[in-house]
Amino acid sequence: MTANDFRRIALGMEGAFESSHMDHPDFRVNNRIFATLTHDELLGMVSLTPEEQQRFMREHPSAFSPVNGSWGLQGATRVHLESVEEDALGEAMTVAWRLAIAKGPTKSRSKSAAGKTAKPARVTAGKAAAGKAAAGKAAAGKAAAGKAATGKAAAPARTRTLKQLLAPYSDDVQDLVQAARALMLELLPKVNETVDSTGPYIHYSYAPGYKGVVGYITVNQKGLKFGLANGASLPDPKKLLQGTGKAGRHIVVNTPADLRAPGLRQLVRAAHTAWKKERA
């Protein structure tokens, strides 16, 4: 990943804009900083909770580490751009953005923020496994609960339709996503399909939270990633699965033929079977 990729994903969050402090770029919503780049733009930072920071470090040890000092102890998390995958960065950015939204606007907006125009809600590249995005929602819920305890109202939950998610993409990509959805729904009986409220994800689950997710689709400008939340533990004799996360793996799908790849259906069925066995 590059600094431009980091910037693109950050500005894809609804209401986000770029500003700066101490002469380096930062990214804000409601004038709250949720991500930054270093002066040389070789490293990034996302503002997480300590719990989310530990989760990302466990799942992507080469991509995330705590910022030095007390800020790191509070959840400020360094992003190593040379190592991080786009899915992982997109998920971490979404978590940070949601935490900032849950805190509400700052009491006073800075001059730098006042002159900025917020970017529209559009995330144009694949980000995070949909199951992990559900964990991001849980983190935001905890932050909102903390606000309620102090007598402040939490930000209202956002919803988005499939049509709204697909609107920025070409007709070919939209057709590809519809075909991938049909395949997921065919191979995962009675699964729940959820469109993420901000990122380009559709996830497929049998229970609330990350542990309930079996599959996900991450949309991008070239096509999509056809993901399995427990893909790292599945046998993959055809070598279809890609990714380096602790659990999730995906298949890159850029043409309809990719959805007919030998072994793909077997992987989805195996993911479903493994999920049921883990919870038996």
Residues 234 and 129 occupy one common structural domain = no
Domain boundary among 149, 174, 208: 149
How many domains in the chain?
A: 2
Q: Is 21 a member of any domain? A: yes
CATH number at residue 35: 3.90.1150.30
Q: What's the 3-state SS for 222-251?
A: CCEEEEECCHHHCCCCCCCCECCCCCCEEE
What average pLDDT does the segment 2-31 reach?
A: 89
Residues 50 and 116 occupy one common structural domain = yes
Tens digits of per-residue pLDDT, 101-159?
999 887 655 444 444 444 443 433 333 343 344 344 444 444 443 443 334 444 444 57
Tell me the C-alpha distance between 4 and 10, whole Å.
Answer: 10
What average pLDDT does the segment 5-23 reach?
A: 88
pTM, to two decimals: 0.52
**Residues 217 and 184 sit within 8 Å (Cβ to Cβ):** yes
Residues 86 and 215 occupy one common structural domain = no
Residues 34 and 141 occupy one common structural domain = yes
Residues 140 and 21 occupy one common structural domain = yes
Residue 21: band (very low, low, confident or very high) from pLDDT cuts 50, 70, 90: confident
Residues 175 and 100 occupy one common structural domain = no
Domain boundary among 121, 149, 177: 149
DSSP string for residues in the chain: --HHHHHHHHHTSTT-EEEEETTEEEEEETTEEEEEE-TTSSEEEEE--HHHHHHHHHH-TTTEEEPSSHHHHTTEEEEETTT--HHHHHHHHHHHHHHHHHH---SS--HHHHT--PPPS---S--S-HHHHHHHHHHHHHHHHHHHHTTPPPPPPP---HHHHHTTS-HHHHHHHHHHHHHHHHHSTTPEEEE-SSSSEEEEESSSSGGGEEEEEEE-SS-EEEEETTGGGS--TT---B--SSS-EEEEE-SGGGGG-TTHHHHHHHHHHHHHHHT-
Residues 144 and 169 occupy one common structural domain = no
Residues 118 and 205 occupy one common structural domain = no
Residues 191 and 242 occupy one common structural domain = yes
CATH number at residue 265: 3.90.1150
Residues 135 and 251 occupy one common structural domain = no
Q: Is the pLDDT of residue 33 over 90?
A: yes
Hey, which residues does 26 pair with through a beta bridge?
19, 36
Tens digits of per-residue pLDDT, 192-223?
999 987 667 898 999 887 678 899 998 988 99
Instruction: Note down the domain range covering 186.
Output: 162-278
Q: Is the pLDDT of residue 58 over 90?
A: yes
Residues 7 and 44 occupy one common structural domain = yes
Q: Is 11 a member of any domain? A: yes
What average pLDDT does the segment 75-81 reach?
A: 95
Residues 9 and 127 occupy one common structural domain = yes
Tens digits of per-residue pLDDT, 224-275?
999 998 999 999 999 999 987 678 899 999 999 999 999 999 999 999 999 9
Domain boundary among 149, 174, 202: 149
